[in-house]
Amino acid sequence: MKTTWLKTAIAVAVGALSTQAMAAGFALNEQSISGMGTSFAGRSSSAEDATTVFGNPAGMSRLKREQVSFGAAAIIAKTDIKDTSASVTRSSQLGSQTSPTSGSNDGDMVPFTAVPMGYYVNPIDDKWAFGIGVYVPFGLITDYEGGFQGRYFGDYSEVQVITAQPTVSYRFNDELSVGLGLTINRIDGQLESAVPGIGGTTDSRVKIKGDDTALGFNVGVLYEFGPQTRAGIAYHSSVDYKLEGDTRISGNDPILGSAVPGMSVSAYGKYDASLDLETPESVDISVTHELNADWTLYAGAMWTRWSRLEEITVQNEGLNSAAATQFGTITEEQDWHDTWSYAIGAAYKLNPQWTLRAGLALDQSPTNNTHRSPRIPTGDRKAISLGLGWSPTEDVTVDLAYSYLMEEDVDIEQSKIYAEGAVAESYNATYENSAHGLGAQLTYRF
């Protein structure tokens, strides 16, 4: 019966991934709902359930029973866009003409999304443990309304990364454990934006799609100073992708789509595309201290090497002469910088069945004022979290969590020149972002 239950649980987790692997930001924390309750403080040192496969694979050595954990976090985001302005300037031998860009700024461009996860850990003996996890480390979706005023700088963006991680851990002695997991990562991406008309006011569209599978790893060390205190460090490697797909250019602009002097064929069509993208490595350090039988304290910090993302460059092949000049290489500057995040949290055990959690996190944004775009309009953020753990029996634990995320207001000041100087566009706005997160997780021990 237990074997049947395990197979069913893993099937549910994997099935959820196939339909709901999307999220509200590029880097995600939502790989553990028990950790979400403390704002992920102590992520690499708590090792309280099977979600430690992601948090710190060395933590599997603390789990004495075979177990499975699976669940999902729902993200409800809200954005207000204000103080907007946008314009298009068209130049020719007769001079230049600037006109305002029409359009709306409804905000709330992040749809209701879910981030699923599933883990399994089996302690083989007193030294070795094996585990496997399926989770979403990175994800992004921004879907603006039709006619969005900033559409020339990106009105649809979606990135989904699904990771499967087989993992082993080894316990040297009562104090020191290590763990290593191989990550198999599948990425799918889609970027869309409008293109201002060259020969008139009618927009064209560029739609880029691609996918790839690449390998990485997750390694961790856990040191227990005593029964009450332990510290952990976990390293998540960078992953180097080469997305292969296509770029589709469509519309009815009279110059891009018609035979005119200097442009003998249409630029519209579908072309082979490739995009190099490297997701960043990160280092998580944390401490867990059991103050007494009732209270447990957590603290942690994580460094992420976002400076790897300097630009998004799409190479298109097989373009005709009309399309090659404008769309042979499509580049969006990013120039992101490395970040730190910090978190503190606490758990209070009311009785053997009920545990209350709370946490506070501070998270730096990798974006900068110069290149921040409507695709990822984020700023520094604070998150307050509450969690609840219920163990009706020694075999079952249900974890629930709620987080409220507040971001500083950020400005977008985008401009670029297009069609060899014939067209220039700009978009300026202030974004106010916030989000609610809700999570549920079930852990079953065999």
Structural domains in the chain? 2-445 (2.40.160.60)
Sequence-distant (6+) residues with CB within 8 A of 26 are: 138, 139, 140, 159, 376
pTM across the whole model: 0.85
The tokens for 130 are: 């094996």
Predicted pLDDT of residue 159: 85
Tell me the C-alpha distance between 215 and 300, whole Å.
27
Q: Measured between alpha carbons, how far is residue 107 from residues 111, 415, 432 in Å?
A: 11, 20, 9
Q: For 90-94, which contacts have Cβ atoms below 8 Å and span 24 or more sequence positions? A: 90/198, 90/422, 90/423, 91/421, 91/422, 91/423, 91/424, 92/422
Q: For the chain, list residues with pLDDT below 70.
A: 1-27, 93-95, 199-201, 257-265, 318-328, 419-421
Predicted pLDDT of residue 116: 87
Tell me the C-alpha distance between 315 and 246, whole Å.
10
Predicted pLDDT of residue 27: 58
Predicted pLDDT of residue 246: 87
Instruction: Please give the single-letter amino acid code of residue 138.
Output: F
CB count within 10 Å of CB 168 equals 16
Predicted pLDDT of residue 19: 29
| Residue 33 host element (H or E) | helix 33-36
Backbone phi and psi for residue 119, each to the nearest 5 degrees, phi listed first: -140, 150
Tell me the C-alpha distance between 158 and 23, whole Å.
9
Contact predicate 286/42, CB 8 Å: yes
